[in-house]
Amino acid sequence: MRVLGIDPGLTRCGMGVVDGDVGRPLGLVDVNVIRTSSHLSVPDRLVTIERGIEAWIEEHRPDAVAVERVFARSDVSTVMGTAQASGIAMVCAARRGIPIALHTPSEVKAAVSGNGRADKAQVGAMVTRILRLDAMPKPADAADALALAITHIWRGGAKARIDAAVAVSRQARPAVGPAGVRR
């Protein structure tokens, strides 16, 4: 499985591609950061991010895209930019029919380090170890993108199978209306 991990951000959008399967060593394919200037308008910055993500999808052909789930921070402007970049990432994947998974920061930290409250240095160190890299990916957005991809490979496949089984079981049940009357 090849997963594109995206750590969304308006100034720095981390991108990391990892190949692998559960129970097998994972391999780094590529890692980088899409940067935009704060001097540009937000729409122009979003277009830059979209073009960068589209180019990565075209070049690396991922089987899935894992995006960090946006969570509320104290600075509303930061949340807005992160949410906008996240939306762009999801649209780029959805446009091509690539499955999309959202993973929370604490889920990613727990998956790669065993601690849902790990700091950026701990996550970076574990990404370096898991992918057998010579040096920690810089900046932290790049390491976070790789951590998202790793998390999805390790946890995303199982979650997708559970979600599919639940969907099948819902379809198999007869629809029941008010007062137990079958429709």
List 68, 75, 107, 163, catalytic entry: 68
Annotated binding residues for Mg(2+), as ranges? 7, 68, 141
Active site residue 75: no
Q: What is the DSSP string of 113-139?
A: HS-TT--HHHHHHHHHHHTT-SS--SS
What angle, rounded to 10 degrees, do the helices at 140-151 and 120-130 form?
60
List 54, 58, 63, 141, catalytic entry: 141
Number of helical (H) and strand (E) elements in the chain, helices listed first: 6, 5
List 7, 19, 58, 63, catalytic entry: 7
Longest Cα pair distance anywhere in the chain, in angstroms? 64
Annotated binding residues, as ranges? 7, 68, 141
What residues are labeled active site?
7, 68, 141
